[in-house]
């Protein structure tokens, strides 16, 4: 662990990210991710970080390209790919959001790409190099943009593992255009909209004055909280700061969770969402084929798409998950994709946990290492058939 502390300190990150909730967002994600209004956020190169959040602890280690390693001691992705090309080993680039990145699975070797790489060799005796391009919050449009503009190498296969973030971004994006005072455009994320909103307020004196006063009071209470070395004292003053002077980001969909649409209005948006979801992946497939790269698409399983009898913990997780006016859209999403036209390259994993009894969910979408192992097993079986046919 000393090695990881040194890496963090070299990059200017003060200590391991287990501080109070007041600074956790700033010290964890804004150090680990570089913000961008176009690409949302990318992993920062050569960073090691321990994230303690929502009751689980995760270790992330990125290489010199900013790509998450499959193992704590893995060489850089560039070295692994070069070695694979020499030995004619297939290189598979995995794209997805926080679940693929590894939120909830504790360490790099338990992410889905890492398990696929190791278990594929153990089961079939065939080596693969699986590269993890998972980034927290990403949805398919951002994955597509990175693939189109920023790929530093040419893989043999590109895998998109998504659905959860895609539905959330697209549904709320279309909802913003009907209910909000701002415009969401295809190909952008709600994070992009958030940045644009913030930039638009940079010359608003009222907004900046209010923001400055909130931040000033928040920082003052933080200073008071650290005057005495007592956990009780610290929690008291931090709770005051969080309750009365919270440092909040601008939320373009604020209040939307209180507005449930009628079934007709909901279905109109869902048809648009499914069509856009398919369009983005169709573009991705075209780009891949133009580069002689094979494209595979997996619709990820989440708690809402699991149709077996849920246990008490899973039922509880559903009650504290992401709040939306129409939460049933997550369970309905596969049906709307079928209605619009299911793409031939899309493999449906949405009900992959119907045959499991283990504890696999850490919330309604993120998985522990057992959950990742179940997903990896399904992907390994499918990949083997595809590699064999080629």
Domains and CATH numbers, the chain: 2-197+253-389 (3.40.50.1110), 202-244 (no CATH)
**Cβ partners under 8 Å of residue 122, min gap 6:** none
Q: What is the pLDDT along the chain (390 residues), one digit of tens a residue?
A: 334 333 433 333 333 334 454 445 545 555 555 665 555 567 888 888 888 777 778 999 999 999 999 999 999 999 999 999 999 999 999 999 999 999 999 999 999 999 999 999 999 999 999 999 999 889 999 999 999 998 999 999 999 999 999 999 999 999 999 886 788 999 988 888 888 888 888 889 999 999 999 999 999 999 999 999 899 999 999 999 989 999 888 888 888 888 899 999 999 999 999 999 999 999 999 999 999 999 999 999 999 999 999 999 999 999 887 778 999 999 999 999 999 999 999 999 999 999 999 999 999 999 999 999 999 999 999 999 999 887
233-267 burial, b at 16+ Cβ within 10 Å, e below that, comes to: ebeebbeebeeebeeeeeebbeebeeeebeeeebb
CA distance 40 to 133: 14
Question: Residues 341, 327: contact at Cβ < 8 Å?
Answer: no
Q: What is the dihedral of CA 78, 83, 88, 93, to 10 degrees?
A: -30
DSSP character at residue 156: S
Q: Which helix (H) or strand (E) holds 285?
A: helix 263-290
**Cβ partners under 8 Å of residue 93, min gap 6:** 131, 133, 147, 151, 155, 157, 158, 159
Q: Is the pTM of this model over 0.85?
A: yes
CA distance 5 to 28: 14
CA distance 192 to 314: 32
Question: Residues 62, 47: contact at Cβ < 8 Å?
Answer: yes
Dihedral (CA of 321, 34, 189, 23) sign: positive
Instruction: Tell me, rounded to whole angstroms, the distance of Cα 224 from its chain centroid.
Output: 35
**Cβ partners under 8 Å of residue 376, min gap 6:** 112, 115, 116, 119
Question: Residues 97, 138: contact at Cβ < 8 Å?
Answer: yes
The angle subtended at Cα 379 by Cα 373 and Cα 380, nearest 5°, is: 85
Question: Residues 238, 21: contact at Cβ < 8 Å?
Answer: yes
3-state helix, strand, coil in the chain (%, to 5): 50, 15, 35
């Amino acid at each position: 662990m000393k090695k990881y502390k040194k890496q963090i300190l070299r990059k200017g990150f003060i200590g391991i990210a287990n501080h109070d909730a007041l600074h956790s967002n700033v010290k964890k994600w804004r150090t680990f991710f570089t913000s961008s209004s176009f690409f949302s956020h990318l992993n920062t190169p050569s960073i090691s970080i321990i994230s303690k959040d929502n009751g689980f602890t995760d270790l992330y280690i990125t290489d010199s390209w900013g790509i998450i390693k499959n193992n704590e001691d893995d060489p850089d992705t560039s070295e692994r790919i070069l070695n694979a090309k020499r030995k004619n080993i297939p290189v598979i680039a995995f794209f997805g959001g926080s679940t693929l990145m590894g939120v909830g699975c504790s360490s790099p070797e338990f992410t889905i790409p890492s398990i696929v790489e190791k278990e594929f060799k153990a089961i079939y005796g065939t080596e693969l190099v699986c590269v993890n391009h998972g980034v927290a919050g990403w949805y398919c449009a951002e994955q597509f943009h990175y693939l189109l503009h920023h790929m530093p190498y040419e893989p043999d296969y590109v895998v998109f593992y998504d659905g959860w973030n895609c539905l959330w971004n697209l549904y709320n994006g279309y909802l913003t255009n009907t209910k909000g005072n701002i415009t969401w455009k295809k190909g952008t994320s709600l994070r992009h909209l958030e940045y644009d909103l913030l930039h638009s307020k940079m010359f608003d004196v009222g907004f900046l004055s209010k923001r400055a006063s909130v931040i000033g009071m928040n920082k003052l209470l933080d200073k008071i909280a650290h005057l005495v070395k007592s956990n009780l004292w610290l929690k008291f003053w931090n709770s005051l700061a969080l309750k009365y002077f919270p440092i909040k980001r601008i939320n373009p969909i604020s209040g939307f969770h209180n507005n449930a649409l009628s079934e007709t209005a909901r279905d109109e948006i869902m048809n648009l969402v499914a069509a856009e979801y398919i369009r983005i992946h169709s573009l991705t497939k075209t780009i891949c084929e133009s580069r002689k790269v094979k494209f595979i698409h997996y619709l990820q399983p989440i708690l809402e798409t699991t149709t077996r009898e849920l246990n008490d913990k899973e039922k509880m997780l559903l009650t504290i998950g992401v709040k939306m006016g129409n939460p049933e859209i997550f369970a309905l999403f596969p049906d709307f994709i079928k209605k619009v036209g299911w793409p031939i390259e899309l493999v449906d994993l949405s009900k992959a946990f119907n045959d499991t009894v283990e504890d696999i969910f850490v919330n309604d979408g993120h998985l522990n290492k057992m959950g990742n192992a179940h997903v990896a097993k399904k992907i390994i079986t499918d990949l083997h058939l595809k590699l064999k046919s080629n």
